[in-house]
Amino acid sequence: MEAILPKWEEEGGWYKKCEICWYHYMQGIQHPNSLRCWKLGIPYSAIKDLKAAIILIKNIIKEIPNSTYKYMKFQGLLKPFTKGIIILYFEKKEDMDLFIKRFKEEAKDLVKDAGFLEKIFYKFAVNTDEIENKFYFRRGCPEYDFKFGSWRKWEKYEK
């Protein structure tokens, strides 16, 4: 399977949170981690300079508690729809909004509108909401929508 799916490059890692959440998902239980998991995607087609964007993301993320990111260049079946994506994880929507505000201010020369096919892919296949043709967000993993209903209708969870 690793030959088909390339490895994610990541910083900080939410691996333990995701592992616990996924275990419960497989048992048919929605773990509270999914309720406080805000994922923000920035498709590669919306980024002019990936290395510079990663450096900037790393600097902004340092100042937002309990947040991290990962990124991957896609190959195989997904490549016609998306070149790759940076996914950022936040525990609160407010933290995600703060990141977007800072990133937009500091990355004006690094971002552009995402490609048309990626817009369609992330909107429908991943079930995200779009922000300014550059960012796509949702709560929890897309698979959760099949067992627990649309993430847009999940209860609010405050830690």
- Residue 134's pLDDT is what? 92
Q: Tell me if 71 is assigned to some domain.
A: yes
What's the number of domains the chain is made of?
A: 1
Residue 156 CB neighbours (<10 A)? 7
Mean pLDDT (the chain) is: 86
Measured between its terminal Cα atoms, the distance across the chain in Å is: 36
CA 48 to chain centroid, in Å, comes to 18
Q: Tell me if 159 is assigned to some domain.
A: no
Q: Tell me if 130 is assigned to some domain.
A: yes
Q: Tell me if 158 is assigned to some domain.
A: no
DSSP structural state of residue 153: G
**CATH code where residue 71 lies:** 3.30.70.100
Q: Which helix (H) or strand (E) holds 104?
A: helix 93-106
CA 53 to chain centroid, in Å, comes to 15
Q: Tell me if 1 is assigned to some domain.
A: no
- Residue 5's pLDDT is what? 46
What pLDDT, in 10s, does the model give residues 40-65? 999 999 999 999 999 999 999 999 99
- Residue 15's pLDDT is what? 58
Question: Structural domain of residue 83, as residue ranges?
Answer: 9-153
